[in-house]
Amino acid sequence: MSKEIELGITVSEVYLTVSGTYYPEEPEERYDNNMSGTPISYAEFELTSVKIEDVEIIDIISDSIFDSIVEMVIENQKD
């Protein structure tokens, strides 16, 4: 089950407010002896907003910063 989240994180010593949709990890399910079922689904975060104070910057951040934010949010939600 997904959930909308908004939280503050610090990236490269800059405080950011990020928001998006978090999809938690879902365990592998096997239905019978032939191992049919659903494979494990890893946690994901669909980042929709990155702000410094009230200024939207999602369109100007680098791919590496974008990826770092997504990883940080997923780790934060696992705790």
Which tens digit of pLDDT belongs to each residue from 43-66? 999 999 999 999 999 999 999 999
Structural contact between residues 6 and 70, judged by C-beta atoms closer than 8 angstroms: no
Full-model pTM: 0.81
At residue 70 the predicted structure's pLDDT band, cuts being 50, 70 and 90, is very high
Q: What are phi and psi of 76, to 5 degrees?
A: -60, -40
Residue type, 30: R
Reply yes or no on whether the pLDDT at 32 is more than 80: no
At residue 40 the predicted structure's pLDDT band, cuts being 50, 70 and 90, is confident
Closest CA to 70 of 46, 51, 41: 46
